[in-house]
């Protein structure tokens, strides 16, 4: 398991806010984010090292996929 995926999983287990479906959706989305960042070349990231530049890269990538 990749570092960021594992840290997101730990965060989700520690924060059980919302219904079971909300928790599952949160986990799925965070897992997708970690996988996409890994595909884009951001290897060995930590959850605390996420910055606005990473969010911008993900947003621009998803905009391109929608077109």
pLDDT at position 67: 72
Q: If you average pLDDT over residues 6-19, what whole number do you get?
A: 95
> What is the C-alpha to C-alpha distance for residues 41 and 54, in angstroms, rounded to an integer?
11
pLDDT digits (tens, 9 = 90+) for 15-67: 999 999 999 999 999 999 999 999 999 998 999 999 999 999 999 998 888 87
**Which residues form the domain of 32?**
3-66
Residue 43 sits at the vertex; the CA angle it makes with 55 and 66, to the nearest 5 degrees, is 40
pLDDT at position 56: 96
Domain count along the chain:
1
With a cut of 90, say whether residue 1 has pLDDT above it. no
pLDDT at position 64: 87
Half-sphere exposure of 32 toward its Cβ, with a 13 Å CA cutoff?
10
Q: Is the dihedral of CA 16, 24, 26, 8 positive or negative?
A: positive
**pTM value?**
0.87
């Amino acid at each position: 398991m990749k570092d960021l995926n594992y840290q997101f999983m730990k965060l989700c287990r520690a924060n059980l806010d919302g219904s079971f479906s909300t928790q599952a959706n949160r986990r799925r989305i965070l897992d997708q984010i970690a996988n996409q960042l890994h595909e884009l070349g951001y290897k060995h990231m930590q959850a605390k090292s996420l910055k606005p530049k990473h969010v911008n890269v993900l947003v621009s990538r998803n905009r391109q996929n929608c077109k």
